């Protein structure tokens, strides 16, 4: 049986004196370990998104730069970091195409924000200045394979099932933006103690799970974090099999 094809949009990065389309190796390795076949999507070409979407069984939206606020109807505040409009437009288009085709999505960090924006929600451009109370250190100074703060997981959620019924887990944290107004198709399934939304899922099915932390950096020290990626690949395999049955 063929393995599911997992599309991972690439980020444009300056390497030396030239730009390259890059994806973090740990995301690629995690997908391979979970039984998927990662396909790198050279982003910044929103007009090609439909062609790429047809090739894949699941969409993994990785971490990356800030999301440009024009995609949720705002102007940039001074605390905004680097953004890439074409990266944003491509990932938003890929998200909407995956939702329309009922293909599974896993969002990681920025990916959680992209999913929410694509489906009609918005984000804090900078949680430290836009939330009116003291927040945690959400861009940790500890090593990336260590957790820095806890999140509380909603009862009965897909995420809680993945974590074998746990209601509180330690996660890593590398972001300064986060979900604010929730998209209508989503529900919140994890929050930090300071109220920052840490995970969202689709309301009516198991197609979307997006987390604000980086499970691909934690799974070698915490098997449950790998289960997030494994469950996504398994959902993509289920989609692949359902498509095969109809063909």
Task: Render pLDDT for 28-83 as a digit per residue (tens, 0 to 9).
Answer: 999 999 999 999 998 788 999 999 999 999 999 999 999 999 999 999 999 999 99
Give the pTM: 0.95
Query: What are the residue numbers of the active site?
Result: 109, 214, 216
Q: Who contacts 121 (Cβ-Cβ below 8 Å, separation ≥6)?
A: 72, 179, 180, 181, 182, 183, 186
Residue 235's pLDDT is 97
The helix (run of H) or strand (run of E) holding residue 19 is: strand 18-22
Residues 6+ apart with CB under 8 A from 108: 27, 60, 61, 62, 63, 210, 211, 213, 214, 215, 216
Section 139-165 average pLDDT? 96
Q: Quick one: tokens of 38?
A: 């990662």
The percent helix, strand, coil of the chain (3-state, each to 5) is 35, 25, 40
pLDDT tens figures, 123-143: 999 999 999 999 999 999 999
How sure is the predictor about 247, in pLDDT bands with cuts at 50, 70 and 90?
Answer: very low
Q: What is the pLDDT of residue 243?
A: 64
**Counts of helices then strands in the chain (DSSP H, E):** 7, 13
Secondary-structure class of domain 5-246 per CATH: alpha beta
Identify the weakest region by mean pLDDT among 9-18, 58-67, 194-203: 9-18
CB contact at 8 A, 37 and 70: no
Give CA–CA dist 214/175, Å, rounded.
Answer: 10
Tell me how far the alpha carbon of residue 41 is from its chain's centroid.
15
Placement of tokens 């820095």 in the chain: 148
């Amino acid at each position: 049986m063929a393995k599911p094809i997992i599309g991972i949009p690439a980020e444009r990065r300056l390497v030396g004196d030239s730009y390259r389309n890059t994806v973090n190796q740990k995301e690629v390795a995690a997908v391979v370990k979970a039984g998927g076949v990662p396909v790198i999507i050279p982003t910044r070409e929103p007009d090609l998104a439909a062609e790429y979407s047809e090739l894949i069984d699941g969409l993994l939206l990785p971490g990356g730069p800030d999301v440009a606020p024009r995609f949720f109807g705002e102007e940039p505040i001074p605390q905004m970091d680097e953004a890439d409009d074409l990266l944003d437009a491509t990932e938003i288009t890929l998200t909407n195409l995956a939702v329309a085709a009922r293909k599974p999505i896993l969002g990681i960090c920025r990916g959680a924000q992209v999913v929410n924006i694509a489906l009609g929600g918005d984000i804090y451009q900078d949680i430290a200045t836009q939330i009116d109370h003291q927040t945690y250190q959400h861009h940790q100074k500890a090593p990336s394979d260590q957790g820095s703060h806890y999140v509380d997981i909603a009862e009965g959620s897909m995420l809680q099932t993945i974590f074998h019924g746990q209601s509180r887990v330690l996660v890593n944290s590398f972001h300064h933006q986060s979900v604010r107004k929730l998209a209508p198709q989503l529900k919140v399934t994890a929050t930090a103690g300071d109220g920052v939304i840490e995970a969202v899922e689709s309301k009516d099915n198991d197609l979307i799970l997006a987390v604000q932390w980086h499970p691909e950096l934690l799974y070698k020290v915490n098997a449950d974090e790998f289960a997030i990626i494994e469950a996504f690949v398994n959902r993509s395999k289920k989609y692949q099999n359902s498509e095969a049955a109809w063909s």
